[in-house]
Chains A and B, each alone.
Chain A
């Protein structure tokens, strides 16, 4: 239990206070600079990653937008449609699953 809690803490530390949007369905024509440009309207984009596959030279259609604040992330998520190159992106908050796991502690009380 102690070990897993520690592991959980590592995950939490890397994510808490770091508002990240997880973007899927990025068209092949767009890369990180296009994303950065698009999301800049919601706030300061600290980092934007769209990993490319070195085997194919294409990216895999997903990326991460690191904002400076929760509020900025919230702004981005508020907008219904995010369209780049005529394609609708799927944007969702990057929720570390460790957090979800933590929530189970409530249910454990019923145990």
Chain B
């Protein structure tokens, strides 16, 4: 195995060496990075899996190329599988499936024997069989005409505890029918009916065969009627069964009639089907009808393997004359002498011992038909390989007759066989044969092929003489001499070298040399690639880390002497990197330093050191106000302020304080430096302030015209300027980017796309066109499909289809790309724009070929639900599978959750040539997984068996996962998880799929539809493919999910992100949301942990989050946690906006919940009466505590609190608590209790500020009218306050309480209160809405007007 992998490597080295090496490097780096997070999969699993892939590939290639599997190949794969230890279920399936019609070179009985051998052997090795294996075995039986007892088979399954499924029954019915046993078939059909399994076309087709074989053609025909009555239209398969039945009877007339019938119908018989009819005729002994069917064959290229298959099968069945007939009918291009098409036929004839004379005749015919250039030579070669001396002799004689020389080495293959077995007699036979043909053995023949068979050369001479073999003594002696020299005198090494002299030796040496020499100059390119190409290093950790690791590995992989020898070159290299501005992290630098130290080249350390990224380490940041005062001080002292000014501006920018920053700039304009401008420009762009951004840019240029901004700032400028119609300025920026050679990364190109796309969506034609033109002509980015798609989007958004198509075509003419052609086509189809569709199709097929056009059309029809049309397209003769395009559409369907579309795709491509069915079903399962649809997934499992497809391990695992997730039994042995799928494309290289998915996810987040389910589905899809997005994407998704209260899913995303992105963290907002969600779900411990995490990250959680958590703890009586939180947020209260009262209220509440009422009351009383009060009694709000106590009906606590509040009022003149209590009683509808309290403590009525605040707060919420009414009843004085009556009216209006509003208005007018316009407006609208007349002139202006007016009048009063 190790050897193999080496060979593989050296073979791969030569072509595209550069590419491969760099890939290998990247792989190793990717693997290195991954190891942080993932465990190394065990090697045996990996071997097993690669074994399967290898086997599948070999067998698949064979089937695809030739329509069959050679026995030797199957044997080899089988042996390999056995050696691998424990073969997996799908390997077994693969082998079993291969034992049927894919082995046309084997007799039917031998095939079944082979299948049984595989079955037993693998079972012994521990392979677990499931229903799919039994079904595959059944299929093999059917294909091999194997006679067996279906009931025994069922019994065997039962014994193995395997539940038969639909496919099993279908095949058992077919088995009975093949034997003409209608009764048996009916029994099984009965089973199916009791199990409520659908009766498909396959069953009916089998019944046609069944009736026919039982001799009842009439009923066979009748089945078609029965089918139609059952609602199933007979398809090609049913007709084929009927045709075969007639063919078996030699009934050419009925065959022809039926064929005509099919031709007239909508159905379509493929070459493969017609070949079947030919086989039936031939096997039944009616070869005379073959030519009539042959005429109908179209000989499409894709059916050539099928034709070959049939030819071989006929030879195996000793019907070689018919086989030749078919072969000669094949319209293979006769000119190309390269491929001798008839070879396979000749070879198989040799294998099947076709008589020599017949073969000679075939050779002649093939040569005449120009199907083979040298059939005799080829047949001879086959005979030699098969060691058939007699045949070889006949053929050699024939060749000689035709004037071809017979050479000595023709006999070597024959001798080799006997030599291996030390078969002296055999050798003698061959030597005699040589003589017979007139060929004398030469030295080499003796030395290499004859002598090794004997103990001594002496005995050779004796035997030859004994058997009357003539030999040239001279030649014989020379041979003897050479033989001795070779065996005795040359030493091993020399002979080894001699053997190697030639290609191998050179290959080995040169490859090694090349490898050694390439390592260095390549590394520079790889490094650059790594650093410059954003795809290889997603944030974090970013390019510095990637390059750092690369350098480390590079040096690590070199030996010390190598490093010493290449010291100077490495030095140059590092300086080169420095010039490129490549940086590496400090920690990796330290690693490299240690390596260099151990290699004794410390001189190089300083050269690496220049690459280290220096982080600003000043931890104590002064505040902006500090800086400002410092600045003023320096200015006053007339000292240079440039640095400090820049620092201050940068800080203001980071605080997003644009106004202040701009003011500062204006004030100290003359002291501005480049850095300050850069930060300011960026800030203005962020704030969408195009005007200032542009001015600043101009000032920046005046300051230093050679100064260069970083790429991001340029891009932002372009974006803002473009957005604000400053097109020329935007283009100028682009030009400057080009002139100043600003690095354009992938991310930059993506930004360009977003700028263009944004403008396209806003319908800004000129902006899109001109900016795109500028970007492309300046060469800032290649005109890729993605970058150019906004040009089309522009018109698609406006529904201007002709223009959209025109634009796409225009792009092709300019840049050879067809952006959004799929979308354009879909829209054209939807709108029925036949002419434009025609135009588009003509264009595509002319420029990109008919196949591309067909696929475009196929996908567009599928997408728009025109399945019938799609079907016609994909059935176009000659169309073949294009895996990348199919995958593209699958991925699209998955990303957009288009179940039906994808199902149709899979259905319609069933007979598509070279279609990777497993891959398509895998995609379908992925989609079912997203939708958690196990029933459909289970149906896929059945369909795959019906189609005889070998699922790959990943497919089985996915299927099992879906079933398990839905608590369904998994009906097969699930391959162990040993490696993540699609690992071969490392996560650091985002594929288009990846980018699309990420974009799709972000879009879905943006739209926030259906609770983020769509976005989450995309995440799942990506996860399945092991695609890792960037930090920001996950953060957005988590935010969305949390907002939509999907905390479980949010946590799932968070866990995934944390395990796949080193140092992934949620931001402040997300953590706050998470806390809130966790509290809502009652995961208080988790919420507390989240809070701690956030605070550890120096984040400021939201007030709401912290408050909710504290309150939740209080309701649980968890005093301790509240204390913990208090400690955690200590010092941050103001930043969070947390009032101290939150803790006081909630600690007290928690204590009360724990029945520590006295403790709670005592501590509150202490706080309010002690000397050093932390909170002013006026603000000591206990309303929350009171409300919770009242709500919780904690009567004893309420009583004691009431006593405390009254005591505080009466003894300490602290009225805030008692007033709060009073108001909470009113608020809770306990008006009587409130009244009693008011009577005991009349001072409450005097606490106007508190009461008014209560009014203002309450009137902003609906449903508070009754509360307000009660309050007014209890404290009638309130009506004298303008705030109070305004609030009352507002509240009544809110609740549509016309009666109370009227009463209020009347009592106020009775008091002659001058009412303001806002009040009147409100009242008037309420009355009008209630359909009542307004007793005064309604103020004509809007609410806003009067609200503003009122506010202004109050301000002027002040």
Q: Please determine whether B502 and A49 come into contact, CB atoms closer than 8 angstroms.
A: yes
Most interface-central of B337, B510, B521, B566 (chain A CB within 10 A): B510
- 24 A-B contacts (beta carbon < 8 Å): A1-B562, A2-B565, A4-B517, A8-B513, A11-B509, A11-B513, A27-B377, A29-B407, A31-B409, A57-B409, A57-B416, A58-B412, A64-B502, A86-B337, A86-B374, A96-B506, A97-B507, A97-B509, A97-B510, A98-B510, A101-B513, A108-B521, A111-B520, A111-B569
Q: Please determine whether B514 and A11 come into contact, CB atoms closer than 8 angstroms.
A: no
Complex contacts, B517 vs chain A, CB 8 Å? 4, 101, 104, 108
Partner of B413, one of A29, A31, A56, A111: A56
Q: How far apart are the CA atoms of A109 and B717 in the complex, in Å?
A: 40
User: Smallest distance from the beta carbon of A1 to chain B beta carbons, Å?
Assistant: 5
Q: Please determine whether A104 and B521 come into contact, CB atoms closer than 8 angstroms.
A: yes
Partner of B377, one of A52, A58, A85: A85
Binary B-proximity of A86-102 (CB < 8 A = 1, otherwise 0): 11000000001110110
Q: Is B2 an interface residue (CB 8 A)?
A: no
Q: How far apart are the CA atoms of A98 and B511 in the complex, in Å?
A: 8
Q: Please determine whether A111 and B416 come into contact, CB atoms closer than 8 angstroms.
A: no
Q: How far apart are the CA atoms of A51 and B498 in the complex, in Å?
A: 11
Partner of B514, one of A1, A15, A101, A107: A101
Q: Is B518 an interface residue (CB 8 A)?
A: yes
Most interface-central of A15, A31, A55, A110 (chain B CB within 10 A): A31
Q: Is A62 an interface residue (CB 8 A)?
A: yes
Binary A-proximity of B949-969 (CB < 8 A = 1, otherwise 0): 000000000000000000000
Q: Is B801 an interface residue (CB 8 A)?
A: no
Partner of A57, one of B373, B374, B384, B506: B384
- For the complex of A and B, list the 6 residue pairs with the smallest distance between their C-beta atoms, beginning with the closest: A97-B510, A57-B413, A57-B412, A57-B416, A101-B513, A1-B565
User: Smallest distance from the beta carbon of B427 to chain A beta carbons, Å?
Assistant: 12
Q: Please determine whether B412 and A97 come into contact, CB atoms closer than 8 angstroms.
A: no
Partner of A111, one of B373, B565, B573: B573
User: Smallest distance from the beta carbon of B190 to chain A beta carbons, Å?
Assistant: 58
Complex contacts, B511 vs chain A, CB 8 Å? 97
Complex contacts, A22 vs chain B, CB 8 Å? 503
User: Smallest distance from the beta carbon of A69 to chain B beta carbons, Å?
Assistant: 21
Complex contacts, B514 vs chain A, CB 8 Å? 97, 100-101, 104
Q: Please determine whether B513 and A98 come into contact, CB atoms closer than 8 angstroms.
A: yes
Q: Please determine whether B513 and A7 come into contact, CB atoms closer than 8 angstroms.
A: yes
Tell me the chain B residues, 489-537 only, with Cβ under 8 Å from chain A: 502-503, 506-507, 509-514, 516-518, 520-521, 524
Q: Which interface class (under 10, 10 to 19, 20 to 34, 35 or more) fits B?
A: 35 or more
Q: How far apart are the CA atoms of A100 and B514 in the complex, in Å?
A: 8
Q: Please determine whether A52 and B448 come into contact, CB atoms closer than 8 angstroms.
A: yes
Besides A58-B381, A87-B374, A96-B506, 20 other A-B contacts (C-beta < 8 A): A1-B562, A1-B565, A8-B513, A11-B506, A11-B509, A15-B506, A22-B503, A27-B377, A57-B414, A57-B449, A58-B412, A58-B413, A64-B502, A85-B377, A86-B373, A97-B514, A98-B506, A98-B513, A108-B517, A110-B521
Tell me the chain A residues, 8-62 only, with Cβ under 8 Å from chain B: 8, 10-11, 15, 22, 27-31, 34, 49, 51-52, 54-59, 62
Q: How far apart are the CA atoms of A52 and B502 in the complex, in Å?
A: 13
Partner of B513, one of A4, A27, A34, A62: A4
Q: How far apart are the CA atoms of A24 and B994 in the complex, in Å?
A: 45
Complex contacts, B572 vs chain A, CB 8 Å? 111
Q: Please determine whether A100 and B510 come into contact, CB atoms closer than 8 angstroms.
A: yes
Complex contacts, B518 vs chain A, CB 8 Å? 104
Complex contacts, A10 vs chain B, CB 8 Å? 509
User: Known: A57-B384, A57-B416. Is A52-B513 also a contact (CB below 8 A)?
Assistant: no
Binary A-proximity of B531-569 (CB < 8 A = 1, otherwise 0): 000000000000000000000000000000010011001
User: Smallest distance from the beta carbon of A81 to chain B beta carbons, Å?
Assistant: 12
Complex contacts, A31 vs chain B, CB 8 Å? 407-409
Q: How far apart are the CA atoms of A67 and B511 in the complex, in Å?
A: 25
Q: How far apart are the CA atoms of A59 and B384 in the complex, in Å?
A: 13
User: Known: A57-B414, A111-B521. Is A52-B409 also a contact (CB below 8 A)?
Assistant: yes
Complex contacts, A30 vs chain B, CB 8 Å? 407
Q: Is B1168 an interface residue (CB 8 A)?
A: no
Q: Please determine whether A29 and B377 come into contact, CB atoms closer than 8 angstroms.
A: yes
Q: B399's closest neighbor in chain A, by CB?
A: A29
Q: How far apart are the CA atoms of A93 and B635 in the complex, in Å?
A: 81
User: Known: A54-B416, A55-B416, A97-B507. Is A29-B410 also a contact (CB below 8 A)?
Assistant: yes
Q: How far apart are the CA atoms of A111 and B337 in the complex, in Å?
A: 49
Q: Please determine whether A57 and B415 come into contact, CB atoms closer than 8 angstroms.
A: yes
User: Smallest distance from the beta carbon of A36 to chain B beta carbons, Å?
Assistant: 13
Complex contacts, A27 vs chain B, CB 8 Å? 377
Q: A58's closest neighbor in chain B, by CB?
A: B413
Q: Please determine whether B377 and A7 come into contact, CB atoms closer than 8 angstroms.
A: no
Q: A104's closest neighbor in chain B, by CB?
A: B517
Complex contacts, A96 vs chain B, CB 8 Å? 506, 510
Most interface-central of A56, A98, A101 (chain B CB within 10 A): A101
Complex contacts, A64 vs chain B, CB 8 Å? 502
Q: How far apart are the CA atoms of A57 and B412 in the complex, in Å?
A: 5
Q: How far apart are the CA atoms of A29 and B415 in the complex, in Å?
A: 16
Complex contacts, B384 vs chain A, CB 8 Å? 57-58
Q: How far apart are the CA atoms of A28 and B524 in the complex, in Å?
A: 48
Complex contacts, B377 vs chain A, CB 8 Å? 27-29, 85
Tell me the chain B residues, 379-412 only, with Cβ under 8 Å from chain A: 381, 384-385, 407-410, 412
Q: How far apart are the CA atoms of A104 and B407 in the complex, in Å?
A: 46
Q: B564's closest neighbor in chain A, by CB?
A: A1
Q: Please determine whether A62 and B503 come into contact, CB atoms closer than 8 angstroms.
A: yes
Q: Please determine whether A97 and B506 come into contact, CB atoms closer than 8 angstroms.
A: yes
Tell me the chain B residues, 356-392 only, with Cβ under 8 Å from chain A: 373-374, 377, 381, 384-385
User: Smallest distance from the beta carbon of A76 to chain B beta carbons, Å?
Assistant: 18
Q: A10's closest neighbor in chain B, by CB?
A: B509
User: Smallest distance from the beta carbon of A61 to chain B beta carbons, Å?
Assistant: 12
